[in-house]
Amino acid sequence: MTVSWEKSCKPLSEGGLDIRSLSTLNESTNLKLCWDLMNSKEDWALLLRSKVIRGRRVISHHIFSSIWSSIKNLFSTIQSNCGWQIGNGYDINFWLDNWCGVPIASQLNIPSHLHANLTNKVRDFILNGQWNFPSSMHICFPQVIYIAEQVTIPFEATKDKRIWLPSNNGDLSFKQAFEFKYGVGQNIKWAKDLWCPDIPPTKSLLVWRILHNKIPTYENLLVRGFQLPSWCSSCNIFCESTFHLFFECSFAMHLWNWLLSIININIQFTNCFDFLKLLDRNWSPQCRIVLKACMFNIIYTIWIRRNHVRFKN
Ligand SMILES: [Zn+2]
């Protein structure tokens, strides 16, 4: 009975094991490679760019390139997630590129079939380091001029820079590519308490499986079609469920009551997560680790004893 691969590949904070999915790693590497192709000044990128990029589009015919065949589908992803930092304005399409927050063509709702005619570069409207629009633009598109004039033209005309919008520094690192491909998950409160260098991972792993309800107790095996003796091996009275075995059975209660009496807390467990509430108190860091180790060892002991009774009589 295993936790799904998808869950295992989540970060620790989201209840996973922080295993990197190979397919997501591959997609992230390809995204980074596509970014490098579009921005690098290295020979391989200059050569491949000259072969596959035509203005704002990419070629649709086949070429013999293992790199290109892997990344050609990511070109649109890069384009829709990047913006431009104006330098000399030579590389930026005034209407279609995102250099002022949202592409001007989108702000004006210009239909896509007209986009091929919108070929002006930003440099066409810059003169001596100032915005310079023809009088027809002032009459027909005053709002466009207003939008443009919110953007400051740099004093020193450098090369235009493509920036990756989801990142803070504008560059796309491999880490950011992975985060982009993986997406943002939801943190789980209990997840951060499971893993700790002072507790052996085998014990943390058992607790992790319990919290994911992936322990082969009778109740869980029955759902999967296994017909086995149903009684709890510890008490031989009740049906064995995960909650019963670890938190309700007389043997488990004996151990938990022993711990609760030492830390002087009275709590009734109603589900498999309640024991983590013990950690919510205002413990010092050292006490917290000791308490956590005790809790995990109780759970581990219950499981080892149950398997010993069941399989070794
Ligand atoms: Zn029992």
Ligand 1 center to 232 CA (angstroms): 5
Q: Has this prediction a pTM greater than 0.85?
A: no
Ligand 1 center to 104 CA (angstroms): 69
User: How much is the average pLDDT of 14-39?
Assistant: 92
Check if the beta carbon of residue 171 is closer than 8 Å to that of residue 164.
yes
- Residue 112 confidence class, pLDDT cut points 50, 70, 90: confident
Ligand 1 center to 312 CA (angstroms): 17
pLDDT digits (tens, 9 = 90+) for 255-270: 999 999 999 988 889 9
Ligand 1 center to 302 CA (angstroms): 10
| Ranges of H-type helices in 141-233 | 142-149, 174-182, 201-211, 218-223
Cα–Cα distance, 146 to 144 (Å, whole number): 5
Residue with tokens 């002022």: 100
The answer, yes or no, to whether residue 230 has pLDDT greater than 90, is no
The overall average pLDDT reported for the chain is 89
Ligand 1 center to 253 CA (angstroms): 10
Check if the beta carbon of residue 79 is closer than 8 Å to that of residue 38.
no
Show me where the domains of the chain are located.
19-182, 189-312
Q: Which burial class, exposed, middle or buried, applies to 152 when counting CB atoms under 10 A from its CB (0-12, 13-18, 19+)?
A: exposed
pLDDT of residue 305: 92
Ligand 1 center to 263 CA (angstroms): 25
The residues whose Cβ lies within 5 A of ligand 1, an ion, are 232, 234-235, 238, 249
Ligand 1 center to 216 CA (angstroms): 15
DSSP letters spanning 250-273: HHHHHHHHHHHHHHT------STT
Q: Which burial class, exposed, middle or buried, applies to 258 when counting CB atoms under 10 A from its CB (0-12, 13-18, 19+)?
A: exposed
Ligand 1 center to 209 CA (angstroms): 19
Ligand 1 center to 305 CA (angstroms): 12
Ligand 1 center to 66 CA (angstroms): 60
User: How much is the average pLDDT of 195-202?
Assistant: 91
